[in-house]
Amino acid sequence: MDNITQKIHSAPLDLDIYNIRHKSGTNIIVIPMENYSSAFAIFGTHYGSVDNCFKLSGEEDFACVPDGIAHFLEHKLFENEQCGAFERYAKTGADANAFTSYDKTCYLFSCTENFDKSLEILLDFVTHPYFTPETVEKEQGIIGQEIKMYDDSPGWQLLLGITGALYKNHSVRTSIAGTAESISKITPEHLYRCYNAFYAPKNMMLCVCGNVDVQKVVKIADKNLAERENPQVERFYGDEPVQISCKRTVNSFDVPIPLFAAGYKLDCTCEAARENIMSELFIEMVSGKYTQLFADLLGRNLITEGFYGENFCGPGYRAILFEGQSADPDEVKREIDSYILKMKTDGADKELFRLAKKTVYGNIIENIETAAGAAHFAADLFFDGTDIDSYASFAADVTLEDFSRWLCGLDIDNSALSIVKKED
């Protein structure tokens, strides 16, 4: 099997984007950026914390693994029987990191020199797992301490509160890192099962941006990415009803001002690119600094300048969250609901839509201004099933009529409020 390369010139963004179907099965995106001295690479898999129940081709039943295993696996891949990846990166001068989210796990580095060697290290350690009972036990202690930090974070508890309120059965309700109890059950066998299922080449992507040469990237991939089995994996996230789980949750924390997250549960079966653009427009038209709602809430001291909206979506879940600090979160939620209802009843304001569309498109431009931003953006869109050029084109072409039709489908009542505040 040969590599298949497709070059796209994105006219809206004035970018050359190379999409390569590597012979190993891995998807590679390369975006050369002129006048950049640095390079940035992300090697990721479409596997996150929500993927805790699955079955392989030929298996009759779904099997669930302990919560937090995707995050645990991310930590363990940095070590092998000889030395850790960070020690190897220290010799090239690259700055390396990794993260696990609800729907993906990504390993990354940035560098201004020794790019070839740094990319080889990235592709090598991610594709060569090494787990033993001793190393797993050691990591359980380390991640256990990390979980305690999450437990002590009011912001993290706010997120768990709103996901628990919006979703009744979906695995997005669980913490990305798991719990002290769940990670204590992880074994090397669990890790190898998940690795072999989700770190298959066809489930992975490599994105390289900045001061890079396409042919050089492909040559390094040819050397370090071998053809491997690509098992068929069926995932199960839980039988999730359309309706929310509950209307309101409250967690007690010693915070000076209560934190809140107002969440609106959306249909997650529609095309991701379209839904993401519509959600971003909606967020801007509700929480943008130029909106009447923002001015009114701020003028009444119901919110602070930090009030913002978030597009919260992934496999089997989609919601829009509005978050901030307020002495009266319930009143803020009522005002947001009233504002959205008026928008639905009277129709979206033409000038407000124009400003929101300009802002959303501006955010796309801002995302590709740096090598790191472009790589993260391209990776996020890839795992959503789209690409930078298509996403930018949709954002440029969306109309007020398109948005108004989308807005009609939003159910204000299918929403919830999460609060973190001092105990009464």
Q: What tens digit of pLDDT does each residue of 324-355 get?
A: 999 999 999 999 999 999 999 999 999 999 99
Residue 327 is predicted with a pLDDT of 97
User: Which residues have CB under 8 Å from 13's CB, separation 6+?
Assistant: 364, 365, 368, 388, 389, 392
Asked if pLDDT for residue 249 goes beyond 90, the answer is: yes
Of 358, 253, 272, the closest CA to residue 316 belongs to 272
Pair 308, 336: CB distance under 8 Å: no
For 112, half-sphere exposure in the C-beta direction (CA atoms, 13 angstrom radius) is 3
Concerning whether 271 is annotated as a catalytic residue, the answer is no
Asked if pLDDT for residue 63 goes beyond 90, the answer is: yes
CB atoms under 10 Å from CB of 88, counted, come to 21
Question: First vs last Cα of the chain: how many Å apart?
Answer: 66
CA 179 from centre of chain = 20
Provide the pLDDT confidence category of residue 259 given band limits of 50, 70 and 90: very high
Of 41, 29, 43, the closest CA to residue 111 belongs to 41
CB atoms under 10 Å from CB of 37, counted, come to 9
User: Which residues have CB under 8 Å from 393's CB, separation 6+?
Assistant: 12
| Domains contained in the chain, CATH given | 4-235 (3.30.830.10), 248-421 (3.30.830.10)
- The Cα–Cα gap between 196 and 230 comes to 9
Instruction: Give me the sign of the Cα torsion angle 343, 344, 347, 350.
Output: positive
20 backbone dihedrals φ, ψ, rounded to 5°: -120, 125
Q: What is the mean pLDDT of residues 281-297?
A: 96
- The Cα–Cα gap between 343 and 131 comes to 54
- The Cα–Cα gap between 69 and 88 comes to 25
Q: What is the mean pLDDT of residues 159-171?
A: 97
Residue 273 is predicted with a pLDDT of 85
- Name the DSSP class of 324: E
The residue annotated as part of the active site, out of 34, 59, 60, 74, is 74
pTM for this prediction: 0.94
CA 343 from centre of chain = 29
Where is 27: in which H helix or E strand? Answer: strand 27-32
Provide the pLDDT confidence category of residue 268 given band limits of 50, 70 and 90: confident
- The Cα–Cα gap between 139 and 145 comes to 10
Q: What is the mean pLDDT of residues 39-50?
A: 97
Pair 264, 410: CB distance under 8 Å: yes
Q: Which of 57-61, 82-86, 169-173 has the highest mean pLDDT?
A: 169-173
Provide the pLDDT confidence category of residue 83 given band limits of 50, 70 and 90: confident
Provide the pLDDT confidence category of residue 175 given band limits of 50, 70 and 90: very high
Pair 313, 279: CB distance under 8 Å: yes
Comparison of pLDDT for 11 and 171, the residue scoring more: 171
